[in-house]
Chains A and B, each alone.
Chain A
């Protein structure tokens, strides 16, 4: 099936046609099985284990499910809706989630520092190392041109080491 798809689309060259192909393949490629949340609950439970909040993983998972199960379910549902929109309802461009991986170098052009910018914080916000992304960003792409529609919000490693100095 995929080989046939490749042959068919090899001659397609415009964004419009690429979008049409993306929409159709997304629409007719059924999700194998909807995520149920166990994976993310398990990961969050591991974090709680590392903080020594629980001594048993199953107890930690149960606690995560009770404490944030509703929110996690809402996140999954919202994510699936978002995924459907960017893959089947947007034809003029490509859109994707923008998440900065831990260890990346901070740049104010494409991300936001949770604790402020050069002008609002001592020491500036540039040249820091990203510890993690706390808010998702959104990138729009047409061909090779990318535009950040919504910058992801990150926390820098140095802010983790000196949390007492922050608001």
Chain B
């Protein structure tokens, strides 16, 4: 009778061990799958920024110093010269400058307002920097690539309607 009881206990224990073994096998399989997925995703994970936020701000400060320096150098050029009466400027050039600043500031520059002329020079340089950094490095693909990135970073994905019509 005791032997029969022991035998039953052993059977129960064996069945339990088989269940545990099956569970362990499932967990091993799941772990293996997740490890593989993580490994694949590793290529897309963000690395730490190679340049700190403070360093980028510092680069902007340096650019501003250079712009101010260029403006100062040019102020010597125009401030120490008497205006030449009847100076001709072609219409295309005038429009270009008006587009930069608008009519109000254009008038002040023409009147040799020192604050306006200095600001005009600095604004030109500032917009030049903006233009150089707003694209994707030039070339035919640059504008398209920039637009694609803008859509990705804003919407999370490329808008279907932005795809070229075939």
A71→B73 contact, CB < 8 A: yes
A163→B145 contact, CB < 8 A: no
Known: A22-B149, A163-B115. A75 touches B66 (CB 8 A): yes
Closest Cβ–Cβ distance, residue A113 to chain B (whole Å): 13
Report the interface size class on chain A: 35 or more
List chain A residues, Cβ under 8 A from B49: 89-92
Q: Which residue of chain B is the closest to A45 with respect to CB atoms?
A: B93
Could you tell me which residues of chain B, from 133 to 166, have a CB within 8 Å of some CB in chain A? 133-134, 136-139, 141-142, 144-145, 148-149, 152-154, 156-158, 162-164
- Interface residue? A36 (CB, 8 A): no
Report the interface size class on chain B: 35 or more
CA distance A20 to B45 in the complex (A): 9
Annotate B55-72 by CB proximity to A: 1 below 8 A, 0 otherwise: 111011111101111100
List chain A residues, Cβ under 8 A from B61: 150
Closest Cβ–Cβ distance, residue A157 to chain B (whole Å): 6
List chain B residues, Cβ under 8 A from A159: 115
B126 interface neighbour in A68, A80, A135, A150, Cβ under 8 Å: A135
B46→A64 contact, CB < 8 A: no
B125→A40 contact, CB < 8 A: yes
- Interface residue? A13 (CB, 8 A): yes
CA distance A91 to B125 in the complex (A): 28
CA distance A67 to B130 in the complex (A): 23
- Interface residue? A110 (CB, 8 A): no
Q: Which residues of A contact B (CB under 8 A)?
A: 1-3, 5-6, 9-22, 25-26, 29-33, 35, 39-40, 43-44, 46-55, 57, 63-64, 67-68, 71-72, 74-76, 78-83, 85-87, 89-92, 94-97, 99, 102-103, 131-138, 140-141, 143-144, 149-150, 152-153, 155, 157, 159-161, 163, 166
